[in-house]
Amino acid sequence: MSRRTLVVCGDGASAVLLVCALARQAGQALSVIVIGEKGEPGRGIAYSTANPAHLLNVPAGRMSANINRPDQFVRWLAEHGIVAASWEQSFVSRAHYGAYLSDLLDATLKSNPDLAVRFVRGRIKSLMRKNLGWVVAHDGGTIDADLVVLATGNDRPPPIAPHYPRALASRITDDPWSEPDLAPDCDVLLLGAGLTAIDAAIGLHSRGHAGNIYFLSRHGLLPRSHVEPAAALPLDRPFPASPRGLLRAMRAKLGPSVPAAHWQGFMDAMRPHWPQIWQSFSVAEKKRFLRHAATLWNVHRHRLAPAVGAFLAQGLSRNLHLLKGRLRHLEAGGSGLIATIDHGGRATRLSIGHVINCTGPNANPDRTHDGLIENLVASRLARAGEAGIGLDVDRRNRVLDKSGTAQPSLLAMAALTRGHWWEITAIPEIAQQAQIMSGAIMEYLGILTAAARINRRH
Ligand SMILES: Cc1cc2nc3c(=O)[nH]c(=O)nc-3n(C[C@H](O)[C@H](O)[C@H](O)COP(=O)(O)OP(=O)(O)OC[C@H]3O[C@@H](n4cnc5c(N)ncnc54)[C@H](O)[C@@H]3O)c2cc1C
């Protein structure tokens, strides 16, 4: 039997989780080509940091890449002499997680020599249909594929620097992971106050930065810190089918003043149910949720490792500052830049030396700056999810084309499928998705092979 070719677009954690799940099932049926621009499979944005102060925001016990072996990551840590003395310390550094994925990939490929996997370094530019399959164009050539999985992760935030003249633009960093070389006493404005901005502040602090660091947030909120959660039960079924109903039911369940351990335990207990709850909302309710509740959701759901929470609390009494408002514009002046910040109809001016764009990923494929996604949407091979986040996919993660038809040979995973699943951007959910997708991929390849056999007979 000739091998079928699967191309995975993107080489982050999702790609590695999918390859490992496939290795458990695929045998000789498949040749997998993973294309990514980093050339470090598994690391992606989250796990390529070498800074030991960049910690996981999920305890190690829930970070196994293999849903059949929930203690796999904790065992890997123990084998490498990294044993958490307390629950707080189980939020280990993300660099360890990158090394674990790398080891896991090596071990999986060694123990499954039948599965042919090739890693290609390059940036994918477009996909074109070819018969039942695809031609994948990247900056080093083209590859024919029977099946394509899009695993390109989060989109970048919309860039700001191109809107300013060159002299000003040199004081703006649009890639929050690029660690700009700044004078240690320079005052820095971080646009955003989420996990990306806090990562950037940790990066500056680790490099000995002594200048002021301002977080600018529209709502003036910072993510909450994890505390060890108390065991809790989810809401009773049926779950409320509207955001308002849900909020009411959550308040009734938790009571008026809830200790952090209780609401966090409750959030954890609800986590497996969010996809079902999200899917029960109408499109208008999803949009209302995104408009009015997403910020509150984010600060409660995407929590900080306890040590990062402590760093923030200490920093806020020193050189870290939280500002509430929205950046109106930047101009030359003061110690390099003057930022005009709007809040409640009033404008304040802040003198800074540099700006780092930590506004968080763009979720809407219609406004993407990623060439591949832009291309897919422009060529009607994909469309935005109904609430304007992620790509529109069905429950089998098949990408819907512009007319809403599911394409069995084009799948998407992780952040790209957020519009359908909502809770799908972290390892516990991606590992599950990878396992389910590998089954669906093998099923589809079985159908292709059976069809080819019938065609040959006739
Ligand atoms: C800072 C940070 C911390 C996080 N911490 C945790 C955590 O502690 N626990 C947890 O469970 N989750 C965490 N997450 C969530 C994280 O997104 C997932 O765990 C996981 O890393 C997602 O991997 P991915 O492969 O889907 O995306 P990514 O990591 O974004 O990888 C996608 C890869 O595809 C490449 N790519 C994109 N477009 C193209 C293209 N056109 N051509 C070629 N290559 C392309 C990118 O360069 C990238 O390497 C964190 C996320 C971030 C950003």
pLDDT per position as a tens digit, 265-323? 999 999 999 999 999 999 999 999 999 988 888 999 999 999 999 999 998 889 999 99
Listed in sequence order, the DSSP H helices in 316-397 are 371-378
Q: Is the pLDDT of residue 333 over 70?
A: yes
pLDDT in tens, 78-120: 999 999 999 999 999 999 999 999 999 999 999 998 889 999 9
- Does residue 333 fall inside a structural domain? yes
Last residue of one domain, picked from the residues 357, 380, 400: 357
Q: In sequence order, what are the residues at sequence separation of 6 or more whose Cβ sits closer than 8 angstroms to the Cβ of residue 372?
A: 9, 124, 125, 126, 127, 150, 152
pLDDT of residue 156: 86
> Are residues 119 and 37 part of one domain?
yes
Indicate the top mutation candidate among 33, 45, 139 to test ligand 1's pocket, ranked by most ligand atoms within 8 A of CB: 45
Question: Residues 75, 28: one domain?
Answer: yes
Distance CA 242, CA 250 (A): 12
Q: Which range marks the domain in which residue 170 is found?
A: 161-224+303-357
Query: Is 58 part of a structural domain of the chain?
Result: yes
Assess whether 268 and 148 both reside in one domain.
no
Question: Atom 51 (ligand 1): residue with closest C-alpha?
Answer: 46
Q: Based on the domain organization, do 352 and 271 belong to the same domain?
A: no
**pTM for this structure?**
0.95
Count of domains observed in the chain: 3
- Cα 95 to ligand 1 centroid, rounded to whole Å: 13
**Are 271 and 386 members of one domain?**
no
Contact 391, 421 (CB under 8 A): no
Whose Cα sits closest to atom 30 in ligand 1? 153
List, chain by chain if needed, residues with CB within 6 Å of any ligand 1 atom: 9-15, 35-38, 44-46, 56-58, 123-124, 151-154, 195, 199, 370, 372, 414-415, 425-427
Do 169 and 152 belong to one domain? Answer: no
For residue 105, being part of any structural domain is answered with yes
Ligand 1 center to 258 CA (angstroms): 33
If one residue of 57, 97, 413 were mutated to test the ligand 1 pocket, choosing by the most ligand atoms within 8 A of its CB, it would be: 57
Output the residue whose Cα is nearest ligand 1's atom 13. 426
Q: Which amino acid is at 111?
A: S
Same domain, yes or no: 143 and 73: yes
Distance 445 CA to ligand 1 centre (A): 27
